[in-house]
């Protein structure tokens, strides 16, 4: 790890406006898993200081195959398989970030991030403030969060509220493929620590990816709401997998003559 480091050395409620390009491409379908993978791939190609580390992210291609193909393309120095020690590899990632690199730290589940909570809360989130801006900490902590299917109590908690109440962290929880791709790219480029909460049950879901979202320059600003469906009578607010539930509820309300945003 040390050798690798030496070598690499106000939320607004509004619809998003996306970057446009002169390319002419058709919209295409993409799974959330592939959207996340493509975002990391493009950011690693764009910036040699970006690297991925975590349990089984390399040779096994990721526990949920989100890092599939990255080790073959970028090698073991930038896609690092770690031992099963969240407190260890998270601390190494935070240190690498302070040293000028941009780590993407994958937790097999965010429940296991509790093993590394001191590094995330007391080091990554606080060092920029405590150093009077001299030591930024550009790092992404990502992985599945919240309940899934048959994964039992120690894999089922949602930590969005926990991390959302900690000063110094940005917390992101995408829903569809466009969210996943644009927000992960924004998180990787952000100079601050970002907690990126995915949902295991969404990985295999397919959504349409617009022409704009296929661009390597596509980035969604962190902190802006996205209006998935316009409405005039009532507003439903949700994030992650619950966006789908909210859209289904809006459909049922429409059958009763209620226009839900």
List, as one string, the DSSP characters of 220-240.
PPTTB---SS--SSB-----T
pLDDT tens by residue, 181-211: 999 999 999 999 999 999 999 999 999 999 9
Residue 19 annotated among the catalytic residues of the structure: no
Give the model confidence (pLDDT) of 44-80 as tens digits.
999 999 999 999 999 999 999 999 999 999 999 999 9
pLDDT in tens, 7-44: 444 434 344 544 434 445 688 999 999 999 999 999 99
**DSSP string spanning the chain?**
-HHHHHHH---B-S-------S-----EEEEHHHHHHHHHHHHHHH-TTEEEEETTSSTT--TTSTTTTHHHHH-TTTEEE--S-HHHHHHHHHHHHHTT-EEEEEPSSGGGGGGGHHIIIIIITTHHHHTTTSS----EEEEE-S--SS--GGG----HHHHHTSTT-EEE---SHHHHHHHHHHHHH-SS-EEEEE-GGGTT-EEEE-TGGGSTT--PPTTB---SS--SSB-----TTHHHHHHHHHHHHHHTT--B-
What is the predicted pLDDT for the residue at 18? 41
Structure pTM? Answer: 0.88
Phi, psi of 98 (to 5 degrees): -65, -25
Among 86, 106, 200, 212, the active-site one is: 86
Known catalytic residue at 261: no
Token pair listed for 17: 């406006």
Average pLDDT over residues 93-114: 97
């Amino acid at each position: 790890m040390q050798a690798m480091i030496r070598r690499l050395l106000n939320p607004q409620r509004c619809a998003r406006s996306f970057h446009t390009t002169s390319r002419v491409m058709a919209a295409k379908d993409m799974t959330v898993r592939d959207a996340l993978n493509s975002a990391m791939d493009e950011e690693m190609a764009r910036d040699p200081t970006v690297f991925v580390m975590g349990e089984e992210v390399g040779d096994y291609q990721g526990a949920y195959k989100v890092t599939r193909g990255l080790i073959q393309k970028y090698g073991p120095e930038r896609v690092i398989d770690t031992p099963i020690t969240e407190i260890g590899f998270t601390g190494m990632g935070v240190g690498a970030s302070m040293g000028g690199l941009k780590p993407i730290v994958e937790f097999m589940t965010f429940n296991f991030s509790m093993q590394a909570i001191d590094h995330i809360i007391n080091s990554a989130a606080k060092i920029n403030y405590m150093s009077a801006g001299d030591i930024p900490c550009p790092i992404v902590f990502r992985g599945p969060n919240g309940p899934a299917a048959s994964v039992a109590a120690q894999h089922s908690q949602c930590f969005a509220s926990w991390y959302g109440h900690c000063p110094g962290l940005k917390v992101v929880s995408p829903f569809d493929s466009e969210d996943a791709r644009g927000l992960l790219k924004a998180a990787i480029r952000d100079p601050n620590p970002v907690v990126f909460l995915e949902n295991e049950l969404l990985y295999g879901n397919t959504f349409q990816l617009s022409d704009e979202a296929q661009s390597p320059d596509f980035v969604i600003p962190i902190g802006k709401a996205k209006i998935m469906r316009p409405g005039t009578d009532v507003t439903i607010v949700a994030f992650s997998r619950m966006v789908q539930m909210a859209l289904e509820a809006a459909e049922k309300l429409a059958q009763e003559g209620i226009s839900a945003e």
